[in-house]
A and B are shown apart, each in its own frame.
Chain A
Amino acid sequence: MNKTLSRVVWYVVLAVILVVALGPVVWMVATSLKPETEIVTTEIRWLPQNATFEHFGAIFQAHPMTQWLFNSLFTATAATVLVLVLDSLAGYAFARLRFRGRGIIFLIVLSMLFVPIQITIIPLFILFSRMGLTDTYWALILPVGANVTGVFLMRQFFLSIPAELEEAARVDGASTFRILISIVLPLARPALTAVAIITFLSTWNSFLWPLIVTRSDSVRTLPVGIAQFLSLRPGLVQGQMSIGQSMAGAVVAALPPIVVFVILQRYFIEGISRTGLKG
Chain B
Amino acid sequence: MRKLTVSLLLIVLLALFGVASAQDVVTLEFWGGWTGPDGAIMQKLVDQYNAENPGVHVNLTVQQWSPLFDAFIAAASAGTSPDIMAMHPQETAMFINLGLIDPVEDIVAASEVFQKDAYVQKAWDLQFYDGTMYALPFDLGVHGLFYNVDMFEEAGIEAAPTNAEEFLEAARLLTVDANGLHPGDEGFDPANIVRYAINMHTNHHAFYQWYALYNQLGGQLFSEDGMSCAMDLDKAAQAWKWLQDLVYVHYAAPQGQTDYARDFISGRTAMLIDGPWQIPAMIAAEADGLNWATAPYPTIFDQPAVWGSGHDFTFPTYADPEKRDEAIAFIEWLGANSFDWLESGQLPIRNDIIESEEFAELKGRQSFVDMLPNQVLLPNIPKFSEIFASNAPTPMMVMGQRIILENADVATEVENACNLITAILSVP
Chain A–chain B contact at Cβ < 8 A:
yes
- Give the B-binding residues of A (Cβ under 8 A): 37, 40-42, 60, 62, 64, 66-67, 70, 121-122, 125-126, 128-130, 134, 211-212, 215-216, 218, 224, 227-229, 232-241
For residue A218, which residues in chain B have a CB less than 8 angstroms away from its CB? 15
Asked if A239 and B37 sit within 8 Å, CB to CB, the answer is yes
For residue B36, which residues in chain A have a CB less than 8 angstroms away from its CB? 237-241
A-B contact pairs, 22 of them (CB 8 A): A40-B266, A60-B7, A66-B11, A125-B77, A125-B78, A126-B77, A130-B78, A215-B61, A218-B15, A229-B39, A234-B262, A235-B205, A235-B259, A236-B390, A237-B33, A237-B35, A237-B36, A238-B36, A239-B36, A239-B38, A239-B345, A241-B35
Q: Which of B101-109, B276-284, B415-423 contacts A (4 or more CB under 8 A)?
A: B276-284
Distance in angstroms from A126 CB to nearest chain B CB is: 5
0/1 string, B58-82, CB within 8 A of A gives 1: 0101111101001100110111101
Q: Give Cα A122 to B79, complex, Å.
A: 12
For residue A239, which residues in chain B have a CB less than 8 angstroms away from its CB? 34-38, 277-278, 280-281, 344-345
Q: Give Cα A240 to B258, complex, Å.
A: 13
Asked if B78 and A129 sit within 8 Å, CB to CB, the answer is yes
Which B residue sits closest to A129, measured CB to CB? B78
B201 on the interface (CB 8 Å rule)?
yes
B29 on the interface (CB 8 Å rule)?
yes
For residue B203, which residues in chain A have a CB less than 8 angstroms away from its CB? 233-236
Which A residue sits closest to B311, measured CB to CB? A238
Asked if B79 and A224 sit within 8 Å, CB to CB, the answer is no
Chain B interface residue number, banded: 35 or more
For residue A125, which residues in chain B have a CB less than 8 angstroms away from its CB? 74-75, 77-78
Q: Give Cα A254 to B38, complex, Å.
A: 26
12 additional A-B pairs beyond A66-B4, A234-B203, A234-B262, beta carbons within 8 Å, are A40-B265, A66-B11, A70-B8, A70-B11, A122-B74, A130-B78, A211-B70, A215-B71, A228-B63, A229-B35, A236-B204, A240-B278
Q: Give Cα A215 to B204, complex, Å.
A: 28
Partner of B59, one of A40, A128, A216: A216
Partner of A236, one of B34, B64, B280, B288: B64
0/1 string, B277-307, CB within 8 A of A gives 1: 1101100000010000000000000000000
Q: Looking at A42, A233, A236, which has the most chain B CB atoms within 10 Å of its CB?
A: A236
Q: Looking at B40, B74, B265, B278, which has the most chain A CB atoms within 10 Å of its CB?
A: B74
Which B residue sits closest to A224, measured CB to CB? B63
Asked if A240 and B281 sit within 8 Å, CB to CB, the answer is yes
Asked if B390 and A215 sit within 8 Å, CB to CB, the answer is no
Contact status of A240 and B261, CB under 8 A, knowing A41-B266, A218-B15, A235-B205: yes
Q: Give Cα A10 to B80, complex, Å.
A: 60
Q: Give Cα A126 to B281, complex, Å.
A: 42
Distance in angstroms from B121 CB to nearest chain A CB is: 23
B89 on the interface (CB 8 Å rule)?
no
B192 on the interface (CB 8 Å rule)?
no
For residue A41, which residues in chain B have a CB less than 8 angstroms away from its CB? 266
Contact status of A227 and B275, CB under 8 A, knowing A40-B266, A122-B74: no
Partner of B391, one of A37, A134, A228, A236: A236
For residue B39, which residues in chain A have a CB less than 8 angstroms away from its CB? 228-229
Distance in angstroms from B364 CB to nearest chain A CB is: 14
Which B residue sits closest to A62, measured CB to CB? B40
Distance in angstroms from A72 CB to nearest chain B CB is: 14
Which B residue sits closest to A237, measured CB to CB? B35
Q: Give Cα A129 to B318, complex, Å.
A: 13
Q: Looking at B33, B79, B259, which has the most chain A CB atoms within 10 Å of its CB?
A: B259
B2 on the interface (CB 8 Å rule)?
no
Partner of B35, one of A67, A70, A121, A228: A228
Asked if B8 and A66 sit within 8 Å, CB to CB, the answer is yes
Which A residue sits closest to B259, measured CB to CB? A234
For residue B204, which residues in chain A have a CB less than 8 angstroms away from its CB? 235-236
B183 on the interface (CB 8 Å rule)?
no
The 5 closest A-B CB pairs, nearest first, are A239-B36, A129-B78, A240-B281, A238-B277, A234-B259
Which A residue sits closest to B80, measured CB to CB? A129
For residue A235, which residues in chain B have a CB less than 8 angstroms away from its CB? 201, 203-205, 259-260
Q: Give Cα A122 to B141, complex, Å.
A: 34
Partner of A134, one of B11, B64, B65, B78: B78
Q: Give Cα A263 to B343, complex, Å.
A: 47
Q: Give Cα A238 to B35, complex, Å.
A: 8
Q: Give Cα A236 to B201, complex, Å.
A: 11
Asked if A212 and B74 sit within 8 Å, CB to CB, the answer is yes
Asked if A37 and B261 sit within 8 Å, CB to CB, the answer is no
Interface residues of B in 48-62 (CB under 8 A from A): 59, 61-62
Asked if A211 and B280 sit within 8 Å, CB to CB, the answer is no
Distance in angstroms from B174 CB to nearest chain A CB is: 19
For residue B40, which residues in chain A have a CB less than 8 angstroms away from its CB? 62
Distance in angstroms from B372 CB to nearest chain A CB is: 17
Distance in angstroms from A62 CB to nearest chain B CB is: 6
Q: Give Cα A130 to B78, complex, Å.
A: 8
Q: Looking at A60, A126, A233, A234, which has the most chain B CB atoms within 10 Å of its CB?
A: A234
Q: Give Cα A69 to B138, complex, Å.
A: 34
For residue A236, which residues in chain B have a CB less than 8 angstroms away from its CB? 64, 203-204, 390-391
Q: Give Cα A40 to B287, complex, Å.
A: 14
Q: Give Cα A40 to B259, complex, Å.
A: 10
0/1 string, B202-224, CB within 8 A of A gives 1: 01110000000000000000000
